């Protein structure tokens, strides 16, 4: 096949980037091919930064050769002779297996100079991440490979025009590359027969959280969330009630009961206020407080923001503080509109994808669980009993036998009472550690 | 900062590595990975040497070291304890496990115990989410850790 024919096959297959954005892969290859340059690079994004997702790791550990093969095919199409895999240092086993695979490929003549006498030369090197989520963003990733701080830069120019060392660079995700060899083997028609109209093929999800069967699941695009969570995932752990599912990691949103029957693909997820992301899927049950979940993601963003632009660096910090105030029971109804406002400003004005998507968890939980926010700010109650500051431990007078056990375990001496008489907890001293609750043998202590 | 005397053989090892990378400044992150492998951490003295060998400013090296959470300027404990705070672990109760480690060792996140045995840090997903919540001590991985298990884990290393 000529390079043009390969690119055409990939285009016809309808393959879209599995790293999050869903950009058409064939088109990206064509764009990189069209730019004229002495040296071009092929980069594999194996930074897999979404916490709770590990499909790229499983591909690299289980079948590293598909990725190497696809990178060489890309080099053939884009006229690049050098490939780089940017892999996170947290994956030592994947790194080891990749090294072995690269050595094997060189030995068999699948990598190196003048591969099989075709005149085409291609080799691959590894580059290591160092624990920064933003380095998954392609421009940041390229800077990191150049030995710099991993800060994103404005696009355009896109990496396909000016990437690693200023040369045209094709960046694709691990799973994207892994789909390429099979498309060329079985044909574009086969691949595009799977999936929905605009999202072809299969997608691997990392199912985690409160489901019975956790792990990686590969399903055709267009499968519903219900099938994934209930049929494959075996439903919610401990027979509890399903509450929400976060797709797309910290950049995505929380989807609820009413979204369970939509077919999963790039466009449907975005239309519902979330996104595909890399394929993380975290299931939550009735015990999870959605304000706390939003706060958890914001905490992540605040820590991972590279700090280059103000909306993301300062705005997310303020968002986090507002959410914290709400979970402390000190928020007001006005805070909720401020929260939404600020979230929208950050979304519209941040430089890179991290800041542009970081308010999604807040906005989607506000859209779908507004009642829960209201309960926190109006009644100062956390409906799922997760927010420590909003709950009280109380001793039932008629159930307490006065055994004094609770008073002895309380680390701050908040419990008083005579022996064999009902005890009481001084709410102004109690730090809500729960020790008394766990120790009481008479179930006399309850949480309100 | 009190000057630390770095062992001469390790300094030589570091200089050799810089030479192996052709003193190429684009290799800074690879060099720092190797340096942390040699010394266990990256004190100012190590950064000085790296800056000199790669012919970049110390400020540049420092900027890179502090940007990436994998690099540390304080030595970790003999048994570095890492609690995964990735989403899958979080929703399965990682915070309570972390609190228990902090309570039993009387350490905060990022601190190392006075005798140098234990240190606590948080990780973002080690890719073993099916085993959430996950704790690692050195190379060893513990899965489905409950707060009750923490005491036993610490005891293994005492
Ligand atoms: C904050 C942020 C983090 C990202 N993290 C990753 C990642 O971990 N892995 C990945 O493949 N792409 C990640 N991306 C997407 C990349 O920028 C890029 O779009 C992708 O690697 C392109 O490959 P694809 O077209 O094959 O998806 C991230 C983007 C942003 C904005
Ligand atoms: S949006 Fe955030 S991560 Fe992206 S460039 Fe701005 S500060 Fe850095
Ligand atoms: S919850 Fe903790 S602090 Fe509060 S009364 Fe019980 S033991 Fe004391
Ligand atoms: S979230 Fe803890 S291992 Fe992935």
Q: Give which of A269, A149, A285, A146 is closest to A210, Cα–Cα.
A: A285
Q: Which of A349, A379, A409 is the last residue of a domain?
A: A379
Q: What is the DSSP letter of B60?
A: H
CATH code: domain of residue A137: 3.40.50.11540
* Any domain includes A303: no
Residue A275, φ and ψ in degrees, nearest 5: -160, 170
Q: Is B122 on the interface with A (CB under 8 A)?
A: no
Residues of chain B with pLDDT > 70, as a percent, come to 98
Average pLDDT, chain B: 91
Same domain, yes or no: A246 and A135: no
Partnered with residue A101 across adjacent β-strands are none
* In the predicted structure, residue B2 carries a pLDDT above the cut 60: no
User: Per the structure, how many domains does chain A have?
Assistant: 4
- Chains A, B: CB contacts under 8 A, how many? 106
Write down the pLDDT at residue B153.
95
Q: Is B28 on the interface with A (CB under 8 A)?
A: yes
User: Across the interface, do A209 and B92 touch by the CB < 8 Å criterion?
Assistant: yes
Strands (E), A352-419: 393-395, 415-416
Residue A263, φ and ψ in degrees, nearest 5: -70, 130
CATH code: domain of residue A326: 1.20.1440.230
Nearest Cβ partner for B86 among A51, A130, A148: A51
Q: Is B73 on the interface with A (CB under 8 A)?
A: no
* Record: fold of B79-155: Glutaredoxin (3.40.30)
Q: Is B114 on the interface with A (CB under 8 A)?
A: no
Residue A239 · residue A275 · CB < 8 Å: no
User: Across the interface, do A54 and B129 touch by the CB < 8 Å criterion?
Assistant: yes
Residue B118, φ and ψ in degrees, nearest 5: -120, 145
Instruction: Output the residue whose Cα is nearest ligand 4's atom 1.
Output: B86
Write down the pLDDT at residue A90.
85
Q: Which residues of B65-100 are buried (b: 16+ CB within 10 A; e: fewer)?
A: bebbbbbbeeebbebbbbbbbbbbbbbbebbebbeb
Instruction: Output the residue whose Cα is nearest ligand 3's atom 6.
Output: A436
Q: Count CB atoms within 10 A of the CB of residue A97.
A: 17
Same domain, yes or no: A182 and A71: yes
Write down the pLDDT at residue A186.
97
* Any domain includes A60: yes
pLDDT tens digits, residue range B29-88?
999 999 999 998 999 999 999 999 999 999 999 999 999 988 999 888 899 999 999 888
* Angle in degrees, 0-180, between the axes of helices B28-39 and B58-67, rounded to the nearest 10: 80
Same domain, yes or no: A348 and A233: no
Same domain, yes or no: A77 and A9: yes
Nearest Cβ partner for B87 among A127, A149, A282: A282
Same domain, yes or no: A46 and A94: yes
- The nearest CA of chain B is from the CA of A267 a distance in Å of 24
Same domain, yes or no: A172 and A239: no
Residue A412 · residue A429 · CB < 8 Å: yes
CA A193–ligand 1 middle distance (angstroms):
26
CATH code: domain of residue A212: 3.10.20.600
* Any domain includes A84: yes
DSSP secondary structure string for all residues of A393-404: EEE-TTT-----
- The nearest CA of chain A is from the CA of B123 a distance in Å of 9
Q: Which residue ranges in chain A fall short of pLDDT 50? A: none
Same domain, yes or no: A143 and A101: yes
User: Across the interface, do A90 and B126 touch by the CB < 8 Å criterion?
Assistant: yes
- Distance in Å from the first CA to the final CA of chain B: 31
* Any domain includes A341: yes
Domain range for A337 is 310-379
Indicate the pLDDT class of residue B1, thresholds 50, 70 and 90: very low
Ligand 2 near A152 CB (within 6 A): yes
Write down the pLDDT at residue B123.
85
* Any domain includes A426: yes
Indicate the pLDDT class of residue B110, thresholds 50, 70 and 90: confident
* Any domain includes A384: no
Same domain, yes or no: A329 and A408: no
Same domain, yes or no: A20 and A89: yes
Top-confidence residue, B31 or B2: B31
Q: What is the DSSP letter of A112?
A: B
Same domain, yes or no: A37 and A124: yes
* Any domain includes A302: no
In chain B, domain spans: 8-67, 79-155
Residue with token string 């999202």: A199
Residues of chain B with pLDDT > 90, as a percent, come to 69
Write down the pLDDT at residue A171.
98
Residue A327 · residue A291 · CB < 8 Å: yes
* In the predicted structure, residue B129 carries a pLDDT above the cut 70: yes
Q: Count CB atoms within 10 A of the CB of residue A448.
A: 9
Q: Which of A137, A171, A191 is the last residue of a domain?
A: A191
The ligand 1 atom nearest the CA atom of A50: 8
The two tokens of residue A53 are: 């997702």
- The nearest CA of chain A is from the CA of B108 a distance in Å of 17
Nearest Cβ partner for B127 among A91, A246, A282: A91
Q: What is the DSSP letter of B112?
A: B
């Amino acid at each position: 096949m000529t390079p043009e024919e390969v690119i055409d096959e990939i285009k016809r297959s309808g393959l879209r980037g599995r790293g999050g954005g869903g950009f058409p892969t064939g088109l990206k290859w064509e764009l990189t091919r069209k730019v004229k340059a002495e040296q071009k690079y092929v980069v594999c994004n194996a930074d897999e930064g979404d916490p709770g997702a590990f499909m790229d790791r499983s591909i690299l550990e289980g079948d590293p050769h598909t990725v190497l093969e696809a990178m060489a095919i890309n080099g053939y199409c884009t006229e690049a002779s050098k490939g780089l895999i940017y892999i996170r240092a947290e994956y030592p086993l994947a790194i080891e297996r990749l090294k072995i695979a690269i050595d094997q490929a060189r030995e068999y003549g699948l990598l190196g100079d003048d591969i099989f006498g075709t005149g085409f030369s291609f080799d691959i090197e590894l580059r290591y991440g160092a624990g920064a989520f933003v380095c998954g963003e392609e421009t940041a990733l390229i800077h990191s490979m150049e030995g710099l701080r991993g800060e994103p830069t404005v696009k355009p120019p896109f990496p396909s025009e000016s990437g690693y060392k200023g040369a045209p660079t094709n960046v694709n995700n691990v799973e994207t590359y892994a789909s390429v060899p099979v498309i060329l083997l079985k044909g574009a028609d086969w691949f595009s027969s799977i999936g929905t109209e605009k999202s072809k093929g299969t997608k691997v999800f990392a199912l985690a959280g409160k489901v019975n069967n956790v792990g990686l699941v590969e399903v055709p695009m267009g499968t519903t969330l219900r099938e994934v969570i209930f049929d494959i995932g075996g439903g919610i752990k401990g027979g509890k009630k399903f509450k929400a599912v976060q797709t797309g990691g910290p950049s995505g949103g929380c989807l609820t009961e009413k979204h369970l029957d939509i077919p999963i693909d790039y466009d449907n997820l975005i239309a519902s206020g979330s996104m595909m992301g890399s394929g993380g899927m975290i299931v939550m049950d009735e015990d999870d407080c959605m304000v706390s979940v939003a706060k958890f993601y914001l905490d992540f963003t605040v820590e991972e923001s590279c700090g280059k632009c103000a909306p993301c660096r300062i705005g997310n910090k303020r968002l986090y503080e507002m959410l914290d105030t709400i979970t402390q029971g000190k928020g007001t109804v006005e805070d909720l509109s401020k929260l939404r406002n600020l979230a929208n400003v950050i979304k519209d004005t941040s430089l890179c994808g991290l800041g542009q998507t970081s308010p999604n968890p807040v906005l989607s939980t506000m859209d779908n669980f507004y009642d829960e926010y209201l309960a926190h700010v109006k009644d100062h109650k956390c409906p799922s009993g997760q927010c420590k500051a909003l709950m009280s431990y109380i001793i039932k007078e008629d159930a307490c036998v006065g055994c004094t056990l609770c008073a002895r375990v309380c680390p701050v001496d908040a419990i008083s009472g005579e022996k064999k008489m009902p005890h009481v907890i001084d709410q102004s001293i109690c730090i809500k550690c729960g020790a008394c609750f766990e120790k009481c043998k008479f179930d006399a202590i309850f949480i309100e | 900062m009190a000057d630390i005397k770095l062992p001469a053989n390790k300094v030589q090892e570091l200089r050799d590595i810089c030479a192996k990378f052709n003193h190429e400044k684009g290799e800074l992150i690879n060099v720092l990975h190797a340096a942390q492998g040699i010394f266990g951490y990256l004190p100012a003295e190590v950064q000085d040497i790296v800056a000199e060998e790669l012919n970049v400013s110390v400020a540049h090296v420092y900027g890179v070291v502090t940007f990436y959470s994998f690099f540390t300027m304080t030595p970790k404990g003999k048994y570095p304890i890492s609690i995964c705070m990735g989403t899958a672990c979080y929703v399965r109760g990682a915070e309570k496990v972390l609190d228990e480690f902090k309570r039993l060792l009387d350490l905060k996140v990022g601190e190392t115990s006075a005798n140098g045995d234990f240190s606590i840090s948080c990780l973002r997903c080690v890719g073993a989410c099916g085993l959430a919540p996950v704790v690692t001590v050195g190379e060893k991985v513990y899965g489905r850790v409950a707060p009750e298990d923490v005491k036993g884990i610490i005891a293994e290393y005492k």
